[in-house]
Structure 1
Amino acid sequence: MAEEVEIRGAGSTAKIRGVVAVPVLSIITLGIYWWVWYYKINREMADLGKATGRTEELGDSPGTSLLAVTLGALVIVPAIISLIHTFQRIQALQRFTQAGEPLNGWLGVVMYLVFSPVLQGYMQSGLNGAWQHQAQGGTLTPAPVGVTEPAPIAP
């Protein structure tokens, strides 16, 4: 079962999901779980972005991301752009939470081209590290210059 951790300052939670469970459930449900997972990870990052004033880096509209990979997939380009932006958001989340080395973008491309369910596990592993670090009271990097930071977040 997925462990829930509180997103500091957001009043919501993020899930530490199994890196193998995500692609397996996506395959078993014929892709339906993938859509649910994609929406939820984008919502979790958007919640932290809103709480910290980092919506530019962490996103602010998980519904738009989901729409791009569902209906936008008919045109192909919006789905690929949304996937790239989600990957970049995960990297930004990792930098922001200082949870180690960010995911490797080139490795992500290879995984996507060879066997995309492996990419889901890879993305989830990056999210898990960031959420665990943040939940354990890890430091968050300050907002970029010119961005007004909301009130400090209590651990």
Structure 2
Amino acid sequence: MDTDEGRTTLTNQSSTPHGYPEPQGFPGYRGDPGRPERSMREGQAPHPIDGPGTSTGGFPIYAFRESLRGAEPEEGYPATPDYGKPSEPDGAAEGFGGSGLLGKHRNPVVVWLGLPLITLGVYPFVWIYRTNRELGEYDRRIKVNPTLSVLAVTLGWLLVIPPFVAAWRLGARTRAAQHAAGIPETNPALAFVLCLVGFGPLFLQLEINRLWDRYPGAVEGQQVPLYR
């Protein structure tokens, strides 16, 4: 006749954290005649196979959970810096813009010589329009109408004076934008003289690039702060 002696019963469901009886004869558990009972020092983290969160067979559940994780996000793409929008500084003039849009960094030699040759002299007018527009978008205190600037250097030759005024004002606007960025300012008189001898776009583009270089990591069209 069968007896209950030597059998493992399931009546004591609280004998282990899982509600199952202790396995008999497994090394390191109570009841193993070959090894003393394993004890855990106070404050010591449980072994991943012995502690809570494991299956009844000793396979760690966290390993199964790790296998369910999705693909890791791609790395190696630095975030574009957020320069934020500064508060208006003390003593600032009324109408302080606070922030503006970053313009395009261009190759000075390409602006001065390369594209004008390729476009048969059309690009300089495009450059004048875009440069004036970008300076106005960078600092809203700079009042400029890019279309009028182009008309001044084209049809303005009929009145002789407008092209010279447009050349002077472009240098002055570049200096005003550099002042707003808090960098050393260019000399409008030097820019005007260089425009008369044909080197104006080369010089001014170098100066405008210094303005955009004030914001490393920023991209064209990004909002950036004004420092003055």
Give, in angstroms, the shift of residue 136 of structure 1.
Answer: 5.3
Give, in angstroms, the shift of residue 129 of structure 1.
Answer: 0.7
Give, in angstroms, the shift of residue 65 of structure 1.
Answer: 1.0
**Count of aligned pairs between the two proteins:** 127
- 2:226 aligned with 1:140, yes or no? yes
Q: Distance in 1 between matches of 2:173 and 2:147?
A: 15
SS of the residue aligned with 1:15? coil
Q: Deviations over 1:82-114 (max 9, x none)?
A: 1111110001111111122x2223432432333
Give, in angstroms, the shift of residue 140 of structure 1.
Answer: 2.5
Q: Where does 1:70-109 land on structure 2 (aligned, <5 Å)?
A: 70-100=154-184, 102-109=185-192
User: Which structure ranks higher in relative contact order (CA pairs < 8 Å, sequence separation ≥ 6)?
Assistant: 1
Normalised TM-score (structure 1): 0.70
Does the 8 A contact of 1:45 with 1:93 survive in 2? yes
The residue type paired with residue 40 of structure 1 is: R
- 2:21 aligned with 1:21, yes or no? no
The residue type paired with residue 226 of structure 2 is: L
Q: Give 2:124's match in structure 1, choosing from 34, 37, 40.
A: 34
Residue 121 (structure 1) aligns with? 202
Change (3 A) 1:34 1:126: same
Q: Distance in 2 between matches of 1:82 and 1:113?
A: 12
Q: Which has the larger radius of gyration?
A: 2
Does the 8 A contact of 1:98 with 1:139 survive in 2? no
Residue 47 (structure 1) aligns with? 137
Deviates more, 1:59-68 or 1:88-97: 59-68
Residue 152 (structure 1) aligns with? none
Give, in angstroms, the shift of residue 27 of structure 1.
Answer: 3.6
Q: Give the unaligned 5+ runs of structure 2.
A: 1-84, 86-98, 219-223
SS of the residue aligned with 2:108? coil
Root-mean-square deviation over aligned CA pairs:
2.6
Normalised TM-score (structure 2): 0.49
Q: Deviations over 1:107-132 (max 9, x none)?
A: 32432333x1x211100011111112
**% identical aligned pairs:** 31
Higher helix fraction: Structure 1 or Structure 2?
1
Q: Give the unaligned 5+ runs of structure 1.
A: 1-7, 143-155
Q: Distance in 1 between matches of 2:216 and 2:191?
A: 26
Does the 8 A contact of 1:90 with 1:127 survive in 2? yes
The residue type paired with residue 78 of structure 1 is: P
Deviates more, 1:120-129 or 1:24-33: 24-33
